[in-house]
Structure 1
Amino acid sequence: MKKTRVWLAVAGGLCGVGLVLAACGFAMSGFDIYQMDGSVGESKMYTAKQSQSVEQLEVDIENLRLQIEVDETATQIQVEYQESTRREFTVEQVGHKLKVYARDVRRWYNPFVDGIMQLDIAPVRVILPKNYAGSITGKTRNGRITLTGLHTEQAVLLSTTNAKIELQDVSCYSLQATSTNGKIDLNTVSIQESLSATTSNAKCELLRVSAKSGSVHSTNGKLELTDVHLQETLRAETSNGAIVLERLQAPDIELHTRNGSIKGSIDGRQQDYNIICTTTNGSAEPGSSGIDKARAKQLLAETTNASIRLEFVQQ
């Protein structure tokens, strides 16, 4: 027993010494964990020499934030990034496509440490001139995506994991925004054709959004739609979360949730809709109407273990 205590004391002492040495090394690195990894970052700027010929922007990066924005004073497409031994970057123009790739070559635990310590890693920033009218494909992992000020007649496809997708002042032909464990936030977005916003364990929030048709989907997350106008159909579905509408406008509406309420207002007349509202362990207003072929519009709202409260703002 005495020998065991001695060895435990020795082990504890060695651990203490190790912690002190690690702390000293951390302090000598300027409290920068990346300096301890032996990496040095260098800010880089890529300028597309033939920006006017670029019709597709494709970004595929890992463990980095992606910022895409329009600068009305810019005349060329520019890409700002931080190159280091931690990541391999490729930025090149091939024909009418500008490609930005980044792969994380660090030890497996570094991205995890980034998240735990909330380190402010420099994002990849793409600056577009006002007249850029091409498509955008943006993909990252464990990094936020923001897109602002873009007006194009081409498609926009954005996807990430464990982070938010945020669009503001954007118009495009079609939009697909997909995240896991991250909020989707669309503010003042106009879409000619289809909208698809999908996430999990997080909220979808749409404010002043218009499209021909739309699908908004989450699991374990709330859906909030304010001043959303669809020319044809809207499908909104979640679970374990509420659906909240303010002045929703669409001729064909489907709202599905489980263990969450459905409430808010529809910009239309109740007498124009065939209505089916069903719930269990809750009440539904308005109740279901009979099917009348003369009514051109449809409203279906379904939930469980919660109530439905919808009103029509036109008489």
Structure 2
Amino acid sequence: MKKLSLTILGISSCFLLSGCQALGGQTSYHEKEYTGDDSIRTIELTDKNMTVSVVGVEENQPLTINYYENNYSTYDIEQKGNKLVMEKKEKSRGLNLFSYINFNFHKLDVVVEVPKDQIDQVKVKTTNAKIDAEDLNLKSADFETTNGKIELDSIAVSGKIHGQTTNGKIDLNDLTGKEAVFTTTNGKINFDDFSVSRKLELGTTNGAVKGSIIGNEADFKITSSTTNGKNSLNNRNSGEKELAVKTTNGKIAVDFTGND
């Protein structure tokens, strides 16, 4: 009887292993690469549950996108004039529990590499994942996620730059823009050497706002408020530029480089 039970257990294990291997073949991700031409001026990327990175590279390198697909998750990539549109498409997985397992066991980020002066506009949207971007010169930029961090470094925007997340931290370093708006909930906003020519707006809940702005405090009309936290800013009704900072249950600590 014991031998029979072991035999049945062994057969069952083989079937389970075979099923996992078969399903693993369907759900395993395969790396792909898209190469664009130098006529592209706008990138619009819409994803789900996937970290997205946009990185500026040297001018002699082509625009490339490295990404991952499987039988359930693919991307539509289309160039429309000088605009490149990339959007994730997902098929129903039904009751196949194995389809939610990553059998590759490594990070599956979408990485966009683009000559740093080629693109005018970038719009990235994802969910439940991080967005990061660095070394870019743009006319406008829009970054939006949920339950994920936004991290931007060394980006110059001649127009407006916008970033929005929920339940995630925002880290900004060496950003330049005409107008900038960044908001989150339940997360900190940290920034260093932020330069704006017209307006900077920062807002969160249950998190601190801390950083440095290039220029003098006297240059800004300031509106700021917090609850249950200290505020280093003095509200002012005059100034060539505007600064609005708001949080709850967190401190505001903003320095101006020109005040030193």
TM-score, normalising length from structure 1?
Answer: 0.61
Q: 1:152 to 1:181 in 2, by over 3 A?
A: same
The residue matched to 1:212 in structure 2 has which SS?
A: strand
Deviation at 1:177, TM superposition (A): 0.5
2:149 aligns with 183
Rounded to whole Å, the distance in 2 between the matches of 1:25 and 1:231 is: 62
Larger radius of gyration, structure 1 or 2? 1
Rounded to whole Å, the distance in 1 between the matches of 2:154 and 2:145 is: 20
Report the more deviating stretch, 199-208 or 72-81: 72-81
1:228 aligns with 194
Q: 1:152 to 1:225 in 2, by over 3 A?
A: same
Rounded to whole Å, the distance in 1 between the matches of 2:15 and 2:180 is: 55
Higher relative contact order (CA 8 A, sep 6+): 2
CA contact (8 A) 1:92 1:99 kept: yes
State the Cα deviation string for residues 3-24 of structure 1 (Å, max 9, x = none). xxxxxxxxxxx9xx88994587
Rounded to whole Å, the distance in 1 between the matches of 2:229 and 2:80 is: 58
Q: 1:305 to 1:201 in 2, by over 3 A?
A: closer
State the Cα deviation string for residues 217-246 of structure 1 (Å, max 9, x = none). 001110001100110111111000000012
Rounded to whole Å, the distance in 2 between the matches of 1:53 and 1:231 is: 29
The residue matched to 1:36 in structure 2 has which SS?
A: helix
- Quick one: which of 101, 104, 108 aligns to 2:90? 104
Deviation at 1:215, TM superposition (A): 0.5
2:133 aligns with 167
The residue matched to 1:196 in structure 2 has which SS?
A: strand
The residue matched to 1:167 in structure 2 has which SS?
A: strand
Rounded to whole Å, the distance in 2 between the matches of 1:57 and 1:281 is: 41
CA RMSD of aligned residues (A): 4.1
CA contact (8 A) 1:63 1:111 kept: no
- Quick one: which of 268, 271, 277 aligns to 2:216? 268
Pair 1:240-2:194 in alignment = no
Deviation at 1:171, TM superposition (A): 1.3
State the Cα deviation string for residues 101-154 of structure 1 (Å, max 9, x = none). 54233625456544xx993265555554x4xxxxxxxxxxxxxxxxxxx32351
Q: How much identity, in percent, do the aligned residues show? A: 24
State the Cα deviation string for residues 179-207 of structure 1 (Å, max 9, x = none). 10000000111000001111110101100
Rounded to whole Å, the distance in 1 between the matches of 2:93 and 2:10 is: 21
- Quick one: which of 164, 182, 190 aligns to 1:216? 182
Deviation at 1:67, TM superposition (A): 4.9
Rounded to whole Å, the distance in 2 between the matches of 1:71 and 1:274 is: 37
Deviation at 1:168, TM superposition (A): 1.1
Aligned letter for 1:171? N
CA contact (8 A) 1:277 1:285 kept: no
Rounded to whole Å, the distance in 1 between the matches of 2:225 and 2:125 is: 34
Q: 1:105 to 1:244 in 2, by over 3 A?
A: same
Aligned letter for 1:36? L
1:8 aligns with none
Report the more deviating stretch, 225-234 or 91-100: 91-100
TM-score, normalising length from structure 2?
Answer: 0.72
2:123 aligns with 157
Rounded to whole Å, the distance in 2 between the matches of 1:23 and 1:310 is: 62
Q: 1:45 to 1:169 in 2, by over 3 A?
A: closer
Deviation at 1:172, TM superposition (A): 0.6
How many residue pairs get aligned? The number is: 250
Q: 1:36 to 1:68 in 2, by over 3 A?
A: same
Q: 1:195 to 1:72 in 2, by over 3 A?
A: closer
CA contact (8 A) 1:286 1:309 kept: yes
Q: 1:65 to 1:206 in 2, by over 3 A?
A: closer
1:119 aligns with 105
Deviation at 1:84, TM superposition (A): 4.2
CA contact (8 A) 2:54 2:133 kept: no
